[in-house]
A and B are shown apart, each in its own frame.
Chain A
Amino acid sequence: MSGSDFTFEIDGVEITARSGQTIMEAADEAGVYIPRLCDHEGLRHQGSCRVCTVKAGGRSVAACTQPAAPGLKVENETPHITKLRRDLVEMLFHEGNHLCPICEASGNCELQAMAYRLDMTGPTRFPYLEPSRGVDASHPDIALDTNRCISCGRCIRASQDVDHKGVFGYVGRGIHRRLAVNGSDLAHTDAAITDDAISKDVCPVGCIIRKGVGFTTPIGEREFDKGLIGHEIEGKRDE
């Protein structure tokens, strides 16, 4: 613990943080998992999905953007916050067309894995919006099915900040906000299969599809068939 380090609490567990770290960064290092969808390692924080909402000093904040502070008392996995997170994830399921049985991302999908972790088993009180959105399969190596998009913006940040391309962007506002490509279709952008934005970990759902590799790992042997989302971070704590 160096001079600028300090401690705060998440669910009663003491966490050491460096100055400038967000609550989530410090929690990750300490092996405490805070659920998240729009945040991804290596990309700048956006704080838009609100799945990482925690109570810090009694106020609801996004753990991925809120700086940790000395002596802060953070509530993470309380029944109340878990219920809020489940509501958010359910709304994401209802906003698009998320049909796990036909989706090639099933088993690798973070939205689905979050639903497992948050115990989303039954139908909900929300209506299904069932939007009608097209599929852009114009690119020889990549397809885009925005029926499954959760507007997390991870591909946008990866394309801008890592690839320095800006293939993806948002259009519209509020509930009409959608992912769009910077061109008439994906084939008319400079997107390439080697882009970070197209790599398999950036899109949390099955929206960005890398053609020809979807079923190289069969259903049942995929990432979240091996354990709940976040188990790798939580595993650090036992070490």
Chain B
Amino acid sequence: MSDLPKARIATASLAGCFGCHMAILDIDERLIELMKLVEVDRSPLTDIKRFTKRCDIGIIEGGCCNEENVHVLRDFRRHCDVLIAIGQCAIMGGLPAMRNAIMHSDDPLRECLEEAYISGKYIRNTTHSIPNDPALPLLLDEVYPCSEVVEIDYNIPGCAPTGDVIYDTLSGLLTGRFHGFEREEIRFD
């Protein structure tokens, strides 16, 4: 196995909380075994911001809540052979998608931002304005699961998934032995 070239892995956190990246670290000492099989390309773990090469596996945490998320996700799809959505946010929108349920009024995004920055009961915003710096990525009308933006090959459910599930899935995929999850290890929390 050591003669094989190492697989390249990239990761990104979109509209998520970084909990799934923390869960990747929950693999603990098995990370040493895993690192014998992989090299990490673009990832918050390496602080590499752009793809240096084509990658075998891309791991996406979080759904898409703004245009930057969509750009990053499409970039991952272009540069990765296999794309994995990790965690409930990437799979179905997760907590950020809570805002979708209030998106039924005539001007939903404005209402949402006004409540968050101006009219909310517990807001102390001395500028009395909604942040609109051009550097800020534009918010999307809704929060979208990754699968609604690009094709996703595998989903690892959980909030966050356990280190065990992540390790089993990754090592299974890397050695060609992944055949889905045991029903007992599926969790949405």
- What is A's interface to B at a CB cutoff of 8 Å? 97, 99-103, 106-107, 112, 115-117, 119-123, 128, 130-133, 147, 219, 225, 227-228
Give chain B residues whose Cβ lies under 8 Å from the Cβ of A123.
91-92, 145, 147-148, 152, 155
Of all chain A residues, the one with the shortest Cβ separation from B142 is A130
Output the least CB separation between A231 and chain B (Å): 10
Number of interface residues of B (CB under 8 A): 28
User: Which of these, B98, B145, B147, contacts A99 with CB under 8 Å?
Assistant: B98
| A interface secondary structure, majority | loop
Give chain B residues whose Cβ lies under 8 Å from the Cβ of A133.
101
- What is B's interface to A at a CB cutoff of 8 Å? 88, 91-95, 97-98, 100-104, 145, 147-148, 152, 155, 157, 159, 180-181, 183-184, 186-189
Asked if residues A130 and B103 are in contact (CB atoms below 8 Å), the reply is yes
Q: A116-B187, A119-B183, A122-B147 are in contact. Are A101 and B104 (CB under 8 A)?
A: no
Give chain A residues whose Cβ lies under 8 Å from the Cβ of B155.
121-123
Of all chain A residues, the one with the shortest Cβ separation from B162 is A220
Give chain A residues whose Cβ lies under 8 Å from the Cβ of B104.
130, 132
Interface centre among A101, A112, A119 (most CB of B within 10 A): A101
Q: A101-B88, A101-B159, A131-B101 are in contact. Are A121 and B186 (CB under 8 A)?
A: yes
Q: A132-B101, A219-B189 are in contact. Are A122 and B91 (CB under 8 A)?
A: yes
Asked if residues A101 and B184 are in contact (CB atoms below 8 Å), the reply is no
Asked if residues B189 and A99 are in contact (CB atoms below 8 Å), the reply is no
Give complex CA distance A123, B149 in Å: 12
Asked if residues A100 and B101 are in contact (CB atoms below 8 Å), the reply is no
Asked if residues A100 and B100 are in contact (CB atoms below 8 Å), the reply is no
Of all chain A residues, the one with the shortest Cβ separation from B88 is A101
Q: A116-B183, A228-B184 are in contact. Are A106 and B189 (CB under 8 A)?
A: yes
User: Which of these, A103, A116, A219, contacts B186 with CB under 8 Å?
Assistant: A116
Output the least CB separation between B60 and chain A (Å): 13
Interface centre among A122, A133, A219 (most CB of B within 10 A): A122
Give complex CA distance A125, B94 in Å: 17
Asked if residues B157 and A128 are in contact (CB atoms below 8 Å), the reply is no
Output the least CB separation between A76 and chain B (Å): 16
Asked if residues A121 and B157 are in contact (CB atoms below 8 Å), the reply is yes
Asked if residues B183 and A117 are in contact (CB atoms below 8 Å), the reply is yes
Asked if residues A100 and B188 are in contact (CB atoms below 8 Å), the reply is yes
Output the least CB separation between A89 and chain B (Å): 12
Q: A130-B101, A131-B101, A132-B101 are in contact. Are A119 and B186 (CB under 8 A)?
A: yes
The 9 closest A-B pairs by CB, nearest first: A100-B188, A101-B159, A106-B189, A123-B147, A122-B155, A130-B100, A116-B186, A130-B101, A100-B189
